[in-house]
Amino acid sequence: MATFAKINRKNIKHCLLVALQVTGFCGFAWLCQTLAIYINSPIPGSVIGLTILLLLLSLKLIPERSVSLASKWLIGELLLFFIPPVVAVIKYQALLEHFGAVLIGAMLAASTCVLVGTAFTVDKLFKFEHKMHLKRQAAKTVQHVDQTMAVAEKVLTLPKTSPTDLAPKATEERQAA
Amino acid sequence: MSHSIVGLFCLVLTLIGYFASKALYKRQRKVWLAPIIIAPMAILITVVSLKIDVSDYFSYTHYLAAMLAPATIAFALPIYRERELIKQYPLTLSLGVICGLLLGLGSSWLLVKLTNLPPELSHSLMVRSVSTPFAIEATGSFGGIPELTAMLVLLTGVIGMLICEPLFKVANIKSAIAKGVALGASAHGAGAAKASEIGRQEGVIASLTMIFTGIAMVLTAPLFAALLH
């Protein structure tokens, strides 16, 4: 019973935190959209907002955890947000009944082209870039080994300091103190 | 008065339909039960059979649609988190995005040329391969209609999700990055969800590609619209 209450309190706290962050996101989105309209920007407010948030995160001006919960929720429930516009197509019911079959057939063909074309191109490109990546990595390793060798050589060729050389210094320091 | 009650009912209906379909899919993992297919269908059928007016349906649910803007901004976090991956394969990712964007636009354009669809449909088709929030922003440049665009985007996602695996087999595509980029560029959110089912890396790459393709579409739509008209 006690653990249940504890979990419950934790859940409520989590939900409140998500709600708070999401509200923050909404406010920020509204600000960006107002700004976009105000400056007559060709780029929509939401994309401006995305860029600003990415900059803020990259410059470490805001911590990742302050946006992570809301970000996860908003992206996770994306489908919910575009159900209303999809349902609104009943306005165009007649149009879709007439052209539905042609549309789906044509879209199937087009999507096949995009999927296969992109996958094929990327597959070839990736093999090339992965090779480059491995080469870079190998070069870095070689450089690293060279540096280590150089340091090692320096250490090994250093004149040996015997404990007796250090002893007088220590006594001087003690006297000074 | 009665209008606002119908509006509220529609909001509740949408929420219940959505969360119920999600819960159902958790129990029964069948492709045709995926929330992206079943939730819009169930809600659409209910609204049509109850003869609810679109403006009534939209009176409260437009708040849900308004959440697309903050959701777009939220995409900044996955980009930030996967910055190491982006630094590792900048060429593959950027050329993959460009390739996906051009093929998506090109294939839609060709499709419009070959069939004689009415302008409302053909203009809304152009941006069909990018994620909904970006597509709705970009479709205006081509003269598309947001509602039709949202539906065509959804259909494209479902098609991509269903045909990807046999296609990858036939075309002999094995690398995670190629599968991820292709799914993200051609089938946006649905593709990214499918990619995460194939593997974690595929999922991350597909989400990144989806976001970048969406941004690229929004930024270049006015240019392409001027070119193609």
- What are the boundaries of each domain within chain A? 9-76, 82-153
pTM for this one? 0.79
Higher-pLDDT residue of B3, B145: B145
pLDDT for the residue numbered A129: 79
Residues of chain A short of pLDDT 50, as ranges, are 1
B chain contacts of residue A72, beta-carbon cutoff 8 Å = 77
User: How far apart are alpha carbons A68 and A80 in whole angstroms?
Assistant: 19
CA end-to-end span of chain A: 66
Q: How confident is the model at residue B95 (pLDDT cuts 50, 70, 90)?
A: confident
The shortest C-alpha distance from B70 to chain A (Å) reads 5
Tokens, residue A73: 């929720």
**What ipTM score was computed for the predicted complex, to two decimals?**
0.84
Does the distance separating the beta carbons of A70 and B121 come in below 8 Å?
no
CB-nearest partner of A126 from B57, B125, B178 = B178
pLDDT for the residue numbered A173: 57
Note the pLDDT tens digit of each residue in B1-35: 577 888 888 889 999 989 999 898 888 888 778 88
pLDDT for the residue numbered A52: 92
A23 closest CA partner among A54, A62, A56, A69: A69
Does the distance separating the beta carbons of A81 and B132 come in below 8 Å?
yes
3-class secondary-structure state, position A61: coil
Helices (H), chain B: 2-27, 35-49, 54-66, 68-74, 76-81, 83-88, 90-114, 119-125, 132-142, 146-170, 176-198, 200-228
Cβ–Cβ contacts within 10 Å for residue A96, how many?
Answer: 15
Does the distance separating the beta carbons of A25 and B218 come in below 8 Å?
no
Separation of CA A176 from chain center: 57
Read out DSSP for B68-121? HHHHHHHTHHHHHHTHHHHHHSHHHHHHHHHHHHHHHHHHHHHHHHHS---HHH
The shortest C-alpha distance from A50 to chain B (Å) reads 4
